[in-house]
Structure 1
Amino acid sequence: MAEQRVTVETAFFRPDRVTAYQWFEGAPDIPRSRYSGSGMAEVYLRNSSSQPMRVARLRVNGRDITQLGKGEDIVWWRLRPNPLPANAFGELVIRFRSVPVQPVRIEVQLQDGEGITIRVPVTPPVVRLESFSVGEDGRQLFVYLEYTGGGDLPTRVRKVYLDGSDVTRRARVLSRNRWQGLCPIVLDLPQPLSTGSFHYLLIETTAGAIGLVFRARDGFFPLGSYGYVTPEEYATNDVNLYVSFSGLDKQQLDNLWNHHVKAISMVAGDGKPRADNIGHPALWAYYLADEPDVQDYYEQGLPADRRVGAKAMEMVRRDEACYRADAHALTFLTVDLTYKPANWYIYGRIADVHNTDPYALLVGWNLRQVYEVAETARLASAPTPAVITYQAMWIEPIGKPSDAKYPRMPTPEEVRIMMHYALATGAKGLISYIHCTERVGEQMFWGAKDYPEVWAVIGKTYREVKTIAPILAHAHPAEMVTSQADGLFVKALVAPEAVVLVCVNERGKSLPHRYVSQPLPASTLEILVPPWLPLRRAYLVGEGAFTSLPCRLLRGRAHLQLPEIESACVVLLTRDDSLTNRLAAAYRATPARTR
């Protein structure tokens, strides 16, 4: 009997981690029932042959889903990369609309006639791989495992493999015993990973194996904006990424690149990259589509509760077209607020970067709901990174009064607060909507350009974030901080070399025509110290600078004195001043913009 050339490395069912937040919908026919969650079957394959392989036929529980229709119980599936390269690894993912009631039987027939059958139990895993990132020079991989329960015995990492090679000796497991439900791993790589290249990570634990196929990214932390192609205005405000609703031409990309601004360019009408975009150094990612969940709502011939995900297989095809045409640029997909939260869980894993846009005041929300959306979107797409587009605009009807709850531009304080709520979830980038002002039909879309104080606070916040972006790029949320201060919202992000605290003053109030601020007095925080990192120093993060704050260690906890907070701030805790010195030096070494 011939040896099987494509084999299964590992397979598991990954259920949705559903948040407890309350959602509402504006459209009357969208179901209001609470989202109970679903999940996806993930199968990791190894092709040991000298030929690439495609899936010729795919059956799930006896049903052929090779050509998948809209509104089905299975929303989308894919093999990535497709075809499965010779002597390499790939990921077969099958996304369900609801949790299967029985184990998932998957039958894969490959193009050469070879068949594989896998049985995947619908059992929540004890350990999940929740985030990964690649270091700035491509020589480190940062991985965070989360323990989600289901096992009585201690769970430990046994082996780590990258692209089939045992790299356990290169892996630093920072917490061998679960710490706050986390197990951070730093993998020192023998050679740098090229941006956009596909890789396979396998982590064997005492509770089972976890796999992930990923595309390598560098340490770029997007601080972006929508608007017109005006890179000189973006560069002077430390915007490093321009996002376009249309395909950019070479001249526009050249202009952006000359101002040290990267770009996200929309794919062409056929879902493929523009020829003059491929390989351009300014091109960070291809925009697969804007808000496919909104398009789903208008899908004809389907009941409202079966529409979400109707565009998913088209997004899968566009993602494949982009990475096959351009091996280095990433893919990017914006998912709106329609059919929430199912939309984020259904679309979140398709592209390399998941983006959502909680425009709080525009839809009549309180500002805290930016955090709720961003946190849900992160969990929905994990371990795919999520970025957040925040509101820096408002819509004014022409010739009639507005019926909006907040018929005005967000104030600088509100914009800064929304940006910090997004950061508090571990978002891997921020994007402003929008810089320009333009008339659309009988409405004026007012952008930040016409509100200098708003544009200024965006720049100030971007420069503060840029100061610690190398840490934020690989930090992960952790439950480790407590506060007794009334009106203080604070969340922690943990990294191997530091802890980042994101603090928001919630004493202010958004009124229909203004924002009433109320400074938050100085207060004290208590932070649980990670076992690998004594937190002896604390700093208020500024624009390329750090201000020392009172901090002392006492019985495994750091006690920190916060200053008065007007709207929001970020604090960095670490062992000594060597990290802040390096970060400040790196900030000064970047191209001068506002300085």
Structure 2
Amino acid sequence: MAKWTTCRMIRRCREHCSRLVVLSAVIAGICLTELDVAASPQLLGSHYRADVPYPQFARFWSDNCLLGEDWAESIGRTIPRATTLGGSAHLFIRNDDPQPLTITDVTLQGISLREAIAFSDQRRLRKPASIFFSSLSETERQTLMDAGEPIWWRVDPPTVAPGSVGEVSIRLRHAPKIAELRVECHAANERVPTPVAIQEKLPRIEGVSLDESLARVFVYLKDPQTPGSKPERVFLDGRDVTSRCRMVADPDTELTPVILDLPTPLKRGSLHGLQALYADGRGAWAGVRAFADPFVYGVWGGPGGQEDDLALAQAHIRLLHDLSVNTQMPQVGSAALAAFYKTTAGQQLCRDTGLDFVLSDPGKWGIQNAYAYFIHDEPDAGDAKITGLPPGHEVGSLAQWAISKSNEWRSTAPAAPHLLNIDLTYKPQNYYVYGQLPDVLLADPYYDPRLRTAYWNHPYQLPLYARSTFVYAISSVVRSAAAPKPSHIILYANAYVDEKNNREFRYPTPAGKRIEVYYALAAGAKGISYWWWSPGKPAHGLGGKRPDAAKLRREVGLIGAEIGTAAPLLRCACPSSIPVEPPAALWTRCLLVGQDTLLLVAVNEQYANDREGTVITPLEKVQVRVSLPAWLAARDAFEIHNRGVEPLPITCDGHQATLDLGTVELPRLVVVTADPALREQLDSRYRTLFAARVAGLLSVNPEPTE
């Protein structure tokens, strides 16, 4: 029988920390330790991760939010939805035993979560689970409510291989009313108590990215108590890797970038426990899966057609290549495309054109080694249909079922990430409840339907949706809920045909959709896709034959070339609050890329969307002043657009950089870097991969001809 041992600090912590070392498991945020000797499975540490509220976006959380005279009252009603949040408890275990480790149950406050979060039989397949479906006594249920109301629990992976690390997660609907959670992990006949302290203002790991070698790890730390502070030590899987880290910090920059260079690459898909320990004993934890996939730029749906329409399928795949689309998302909706994807020739054409897949099942169409697998679409919308739950306790009822599905796939396809898409139901709690469940969290903040509904049903909301800030709001919350895991944003790309009422709402404009994309990128999205291609009804997709569909399609391709050029930066970037002085009406956000590069996203907010289109007033003679982090000595500035990489005038006075943007109409992506070779590298990437595609797109006039 595997025997659990406790961990012991090898360096002295602060006085308030030292009293906790005697516990059999180290406590959240104070935790990581090393072992005197290698032994059997080790409980490395635990951590409580509180949700981060975004009250500034409260106006978007209620679909009936009023403006004008009722603004204050309406916002007052939605603020609780933005701030009444929960969190999650995380435990990290290393299996030092020569035998696989299987954790069969986890208890919270002495109550089995396997029994407490019980499945209901009201559905045949996608079964909901909740503590309200269990046979708990009222006393037991109240005990769990006081502990935060567990919604789902997970052991990832379900069986931890010898020498590997597993993560135990417990999602809580609201903040616990008690100061400490009592968690026990059950493995065989062993029970190991694990106190998890509920602490505020703990450091957080906001972002983790790996380079293509899987040997370099980019880590972005945030300490709300002491912004810009460095950790004293860094651990990976319980082993001190501080000597392999490069750290920089600036008190005026909220993030601390850490670069960890490993002696050997991590195994793709493997799970690792990462911790940063600060001098005062506080610490930040994160479970990290080793993925280094390209920035996803995808489409949902397909062109229709019959199974035997080989030419249609081939032409569609080549068109996706011309649009710089690199991923076929699920819900293909095309018999021609599905049939071709099953063939050897079809799969070879996809490889030749760089098209990868997100599949709804491992092995679908006979495709091996797909980029990712899609657990489910919009479980939060499904939560709203579950019966037998008290009001306010619905969202998350399908989470335990989604975990079961993901666990099954993990055993058959361990090297691919799992994706889950969240709708707008129960926002913003839905994003937090599901955020830590998948490897990549998707969300679909469809802006154009909000604008359409404002015109058709709620004209009092027209000022709220005149601009697409809604996309930035959702993208920001989604990134935070998933962090440090990546997020992916799905954007709407359809005209809406309402045959019943004999009316139609236009396609998104090219400029309007471009603004949405850059809002999502500024929020830290690591993937963008469009719903959908299919020319159906009522949503008439991106593949439509009308001129306005062709215009939007071309813009999708031009944006794809820009994103593809910037992808090496975007996939390793993390949003950071950095002092910027833009002119009025220029919206700016910054992202850090490692320790030598900063991205500036600039959006001219002198624009408005209406039922006719998008109106933009350009900004003239624009200069932006940026307070660069102390560690970043700028040697070059340039912008990335669909025509390539273009140098940008920059003047520096110490760490104050002034960028001359000239006339700004559409969003701009600016790079400020200390790397003198970066511009040439990205320019070469553009010329090699995207220049010909852009030339082809610009040579075709989507306007109707006489």
More deviation in 190-199 or 16-25? Answer: 190-199
> What CA RMSD, in Å, does the superposition of the two structures yield over aligned residues?
2.4
AA partner of residue 488 (structure 2): V
Partner SS state of residue 86, structure 1: coil
Q: How far does residue 238 in structure 1 lie from its aligned partner after superposition? A: 0.5
AA partner of residue 205 (structure 1): Y
1:464 and 2:499 aligned? no
Structure 2: where are the runs of 5+ without partners?
A: 6-39, 66-76, 119-128, 132-148, 303-312, 452-464, 696-706
Aligned to 2:323: 237
Query: Is contact 2:48-2:90 (8 Å) kept?
Result: yes
Q: Which whole-Å CA distance do the structure 2 matches of 1:303 and 1:241 have between them?
A: 40
AA partner of residue 168 (structure 1): T
Query: Is contact 2:628-2:656 (8 Å) kept?
Result: yes
Aligned to 1:169: 243
CA separation of 1:323 and 1:276: change in aligned 2, threshold 3 A: farther
Measured against aligned partners, the alpha-carbon deviations of 1:412-443 in whole angstroms (never above 9, x if no partner) come to: 1101000010011111111112223113xxx2
State TM-score, norm by structure 2.
Answer: 0.77
Partner SS state of residue 171, structure 2: strand
More deviation in 105-114 or 291-300? Answer: 105-114
1:7 and 2:38 aligned? no
Larger Rg: 2
Q: How far does residue 7 in structure 1 lie from its aligned partner after superposition? A: 2.8
Q: Which whole-Å CA distance do the structure 1 matches of 2:182 and 2:62 have between them?
A: 35
What does residue range 359-374 of structure 1 map to in structure 2 within 5 Å? 359-364=446-451, 365=465, 366-374=467-475
Q: How far does residue 244 in structure 1 lie from its aligned partner after superposition? A: 1.1
Partner SS state of residue 379, structure 1: helix
Q: How far does residue 477 in structure 1 lie from its aligned partner after superposition? A: 1.1
Q: How far does residue 218 in structure 1 lie from its aligned partner after superposition? A: 1.4
Aligned to 1:24: 61
Query: Is contact 2:622-2:664 (8 Å) kept?
Result: no
Q: How far does residue 25 in structure 1 lie from its aligned partner after superposition? A: 4.1
More deviation in 8-17 or 527-536? Answer: 527-536
Partner SS state of residue 59, structure 1: strand
1:331 and 2:418 aligned? yes
AA partner of residue 447 (structure 1): L
Q: How far does residue 532 in structure 1 lie from its aligned partner after superposition? A: 2.0
Q: How far does residue 163 in structure 1 lie from its aligned partner after superposition? A: 3.2
The structure that is strand-richer by fraction is: 1
Aligned to 1:446: 541
CA separation of 1:112 and 1:435: change in aligned 2, threshold 3 A: same
1:218 and 2:292 aligned? yes
CA separation of 1:460 and 1:444: change in aligned 2, threshold 3 A: closer
1:298 and 2:385 aligned? yes
1:319 and 2:356 aligned? no
Q: How far does residue 255 in structure 1 lie from its aligned partner after superposition? A: 4.3
AA partner of residue 204 (structure 2): R
Q: How far does residue 64 in structure 1 lie from its aligned partner after superposition? A: 1.8
AA partner of residue 7 (structure 1): Q
AA partner of residue 561 (structure 1): D
What does residue range 410-425 of structure 1 map to in structure 2 within 5 Å? 410-425=508-523
Query: Is contact 2:375-2:402 (8 Å) kept?
Result: yes
Measured against aligned partners, the alpha-carbon deviations of 1:46-92 in whole angstroms (never above 9, x if no partner) come to: 22211222222321112221131334321111111111222221111
CA separation of 1:140 and 1:219: change in aligned 2, threshold 3 A: farther
CA separation of 1:2 and 1:90: change in aligned 2, threshold 3 A: closer
What does residue range 132-211 of structure 1 map to in structure 2 within 5 Å? 132-149=208-225, 155-175=229-249, 178-206=251-279, 207-211=281-285
AA partner of residue 310 (structure 1): S
Partner SS state of residue 362, structure 1: helix
Partner SS state of residue 584, structure 2: coil
Q: How far does residue 16 in structure 1 lie from its aligned partner after superposition? A: 0.1
Aligned to 1:584: 683
Q: How far does residue 220 in structure 1 lie from its aligned partner after superposition? A: 0.8
What does residue range 355-504 of structure 1 map to in structure 2 within 5 Å? 355-364=442-451, 365=465, 366-402=467-503, 407-439=505-537, 443-450=538-545, 451-495=549-593, 496-504=595-603
CA separation of 1:290 and 1:217: change in aligned 2, threshold 3 A: same
Partner SS state of residue 361, structure 1: helix
CA separation of 1:288 and 1:245: change in aligned 2, threshold 3 A: same
AA partner of residue 120 (structure 1): V
Aligned to 1:53: 101
Query: Is contact 2:561-2:690 (8 Å) kept?
Result: no
Query: Is contact 1:60-1:104 (8 Å) kept?
Result: no
Q: How far does residue 399 in structure 1 lie from its aligned partner after superposition? A: 4.3
More deviation in 413-422 or 85-94? Answer: 85-94
Structure 1: where are the runs of 5+ without partners?
A: 268-272
Measured against aligned partners, the alpha-carbon deviations of 1:347-404 in whole angstroms (never above 9, x if no partner) come to: 11111111101111212233111101100111111111111111211321114234x8
Q: Which whole-Å CA distance do the structure 1 matches of 2:675 and 2:235 have between them?
A: 33
AA partner of residue 237 (structure 2): D
AA partner of residue 381 (structure 1): A
Query: Match for 1:127 among 195, 203, 217?
Result: 203
Aligned to 1:563: 662
CA separation of 1:65 and 1:219: change in aligned 2, threshold 3 A: closer
1:509 and 2:546 aligned? no
Q: How far does residue 484 in structure 1 lie from its aligned partner after superposition? A: 4.1
Partner SS state of residue 221, structure 2: strand
AA partner of residue 580 (structure 2): T
Q: Which whole-Å CA distance do the structure 1 matches of 2:675 and 2:533 have between them?
A: 39
Q: How far does residue 527 in structure 1 lie from its aligned partner after superposition? A: 0.8
Q: Which whole-Å CA distance do the structure 1 matches of 2:241 and 2:398 have between them?
A: 39
Aligned to 1:90: 166
Q: Which whole-Å CA distance do the structure 2 matches of 1:464 and 1:444 have between them?
A: 27
Q: Which whole-Å CA distance do the structure 1 matches of 2:689 and 2:429 have between them?
A: 40
CA separation of 1:481 and 1:457: change in aligned 2, threshold 3 A: farther
Q: Which whole-Å CA distance do the structure 1 matches of 2:3 and 2:494 have between them?
A: 63
CA separation of 1:66 and 1:266: change in aligned 2, threshold 3 A: same
Q: Which whole-Å CA distance do the structure 2 matches of 1:275 and 1:418 have between them?
A: 32
Q: Which whole-Å CA distance do the structure 1 matches of 2:236 and 2:269 have between them?
A: 16
Query: Is contact 1:504-1:567 (8 Å) kept?
Result: yes
1:78 and 2:154 aligned? yes
Measured against aligned partners, the alpha-carbon deviations of 1:9-53 in whole angstroms (never above 9, x if no partner) come to: 11121100011111334599xx95424111011111122211222
Query: Is contact 1:129-1:210 (8 Å) kept?
Result: yes
Partner SS state of residue 313, structure 1: helix
Aligned to 1:106: 182
Q: Which whole-Å CA distance do the structure 2 matches of 1:375 and 1:502 have between them?
A: 14
Q: How far does residue 125 in structure 1 lie from its aligned partner after superposition? A: 4.2
Q: Which whole-Å CA distance do the structure 1 matches of 2:657 and 2:373 have between them?
A: 43
State TM-score, norm by structure 1.
Answer: 0.91
Q: Percent identity?
A: 26
Measured against aligned partners, the alpha-carbon deviations of 1:474-499 in whole angstroms (never above 9, x if no partner) come to: 11112224234222111111112211
Partner SS state of residue 420, structure 2: strand
Query: Is contact 1:170-1:187 (8 Å) kept?
Result: yes
Q: Which whole-Å CA distance do the structure 2 matches of 1:114 and 1:499 have between them?
A: 49
Q: How far does residue 311 in structure 1 lie from its aligned partner after superposition? A: 0.6
The structure that is helix-richer by fraction is: 2
CA separation of 1:416 and 1:220: change in aligned 2, threshold 3 A: same
Query: Is contact 1:398-1:444 (8 Å) kept?
Result: no
Q: Which whole-Å CA distance do the structure 1 matches of 2:470 and 2:410 have between them?
A: 34
Q: Which whole-Å CA distance do the structure 1 matches of 2:263 and 2:507 have between them?
A: 50
AA partner of residue 683 (structure 2): A
Q: Which whole-Å CA distance do the structure 1 matches of 2:200 and 2:657 have between them?
A: 35
